[in-house]
Chains A and B, each alone.
Chain A
Amino acid sequence: MDTSLQICEDCDTVHRRRPLSRGEVARCACCGAELDRHHGLGVNELLALVLTSGIVFVVANVWPIVTLGLNGQHVSARLWGVILAMWERGAPIVAVIAAATLFFFPALRMLLLGLVLVQARRGRRGAGFRPAMVALHYLRPWTMNEVFVLGTLVAIVKVRAYFEVATDPGLYGYVALMMLITVFSGVDLRRLWELAREPAA
């Protein structure tokens, strides 16, 4: 297998790999798709980011996101409250979509990312490296935390006229999570295949 070559996934053009300098992005000469970019973040930095995201994820889920007040009554919502509300009020399909894209898939992605990064750091592929890398490839489009943050903002504006609105720590947790997810979504995980070698049989 030749690792000096790479094939553009958008148009099947074969390119020769070349080392990139800081901030450089390699683009396909035929269709303009991004082939490769310089990585500023090493495995250790990525592992630290995943750990931080894990902590922020807990904060975002344990504390309420927003509290509404009306006539001295208060209602606050956590992510799971939102999911259960949809389940109980006649939209179970939406509840399942929200649970998957806002909770289970992001959580799974962080766990798997942690697993492959720990192994890449050791330089060896251990149990589950291959299925974890494949699963990460398929999970990638199915996390929607950033959409949820914007949705929260829209919801706040919609109810502002009728209720007292207070934002809670959960919302800040979500904003932080959104930024962290954006950072490691830009990282090409495929280089981990090269960093973690196959164990000698």
Chain B
Amino acid sequence: MSAPPRAVELGLVGCTVCGQVCRAPGPLAQAACPRCGAVLRRRKAGSLARSWAFLIAAFIFYIPANLLPIMRTVSLGDVDDNTILSGVVELWVKGSPDLAVIVFAASIMVPMLKFVVLATLLVCAQRRSRWAQVQRARLYRLVDLIGYWSMLDVFVVSLLTALVRFGFFSEVEPLPGVIYFGLTVILTMLASMSFDPRLTWDTDKDAP
């Protein structure tokens, strides 16, 4: 079976918002999708630059997100500050190890995976590399799908803050780490949304 044609070769462009197949506008002209009104572009505007910017910003915020404590537990005057990692350890020891694994996956593995995968995708797209295209496409879909689960710990801290309010006996307070962590998640989501997966397939031969 010969490879099916790509939109560029047929002078077509797919609307990223509504999926409509449209005739491609001229090389410099911008046109609106006749169906939904979104701007038609062959590729997302400034995809690589935007994606890098969001990814680097997310990585910078990820450092205080892990180093600073995310919540303070006060119990009978006893103060205990928890970071993300110490929260996972505590859950493993005192709570249930299966949930500790879930929290570890959502708050530590998923963000790390996103950094590594998105950086790899960006570098390969920049070099117009043909290496492992199908696998890279799959990784992008995976990262896009699981990204927002990292918000898990942020919601846990929020819920505990609202629930544990027993004055001197027991209190939970949010600490700055949780803010950095929330922003890291939002920024990695924006980074993966800014990346145009079609760039993975734009190799030298059919560069638009």
> A: which residues have CB within 8 A of B?
1-3, 5-15, 29-33, 65-66, 68, 70-71, 73, 75-77, 81-86, 89-91, 93-95, 97-98, 101, 130, 133-134, 137-138, 141, 144, 147-148, 150-155, 157-163, 190, 193
Contact = CB atoms under 8 A, between A and B. Distances in A.
Contacts of B153: 151
Given A32-B134, A193-B18, A154 B91 contact: yes
B8 A134 contact: no
Contacts of B137: 10-11, 31-33
Which of B19, B148, B201 lies at the interface centre, i.e. has the most chain A CB atoms within 10 A of its CB? B19
Nearest to B82: A158
Contacts of B67: none
A7 B201 contact: no
Nearest to B147: A141
Contacts of A153: 99
Interface stretch (B46-54, B123-131, B169-177): B169-177
Nearest to A160: B95
Contact of B169 (A7, A71, A154, A160): A71
Contacts of A148: 155
Contacts of A152: 155, 159
A101 B158 CA distance: 13
Contact of A31 (B148, B149, B174, B201): B201
Contact of B197 (A10, A147, A154): A10
Contacts of B138: 32
Given A133-B18, A134-B36, A147-B149, A68 B164 contact: yes
Given A7-B14, A13-B4, 6 more contacts: A7-B19, A73-B169, A77-B163, A154-B103, A158-B90, A161-B94
B120 interface: no
29 contacts: A1-B34, A1-B35, A8-B14, A9-B197, A9-B198, A10-B140, A10-B198, A13-B5, A14-B10, A14-B12, A75-B164, A81-B162, A86-B161, A94-B154, A95-B158, A130-B37, A133-B18, A137-B17, A138-B17, A141-B148, A144-B155, A147-B151, A147-B152, A150-B149, A151-B156, A158-B160, A190-B19, A193-B20, A193-B35
Which of B94, B137, B159, B201 lies at the interface centre, i.e. has the most chain A CB atoms within 10 A of its CB? B159
A68 B163 contact: yes
Interface of B: 1, 3-8, 10, 12-14, 16-22, 34-38, 75, 90-91, 94-96, 99, 102-103, 133-134, 137-138, 140-141, 148-149, 151-166, 169-170, 173-174, 178-179, 182-183, 186, 189, 193, 197-198, 200-201
Contacts of B17: 134, 137-138
Contacts of B35: 1, 193
Q: Is the interface of B mostly helix, strand, loop or mixed?
A: helix
A28 B16 CA distance: 16
Given A71-B169, A93-B183, A158-B95, A133 B159 contact: no
B168 to A, nearest CB: 11
B137 to A, nearest CB: 4
B102 A150 contact: yes
Nearest to A85: B162
Given A70-B166, A91-B179, A152-B159, A157 B95 contact: yes
B75 A134 contact: no
A93 B179 contact: yes
Contacts of B134: 31-32
Contact of B189 (A10, A95, A141): A141
The 6 closest A-B pairs by CB, nearest first: A7-B14, A151-B155, A85-B162, A31-B137, A77-B162, A82-B162
A71 B169 CA distance: 9
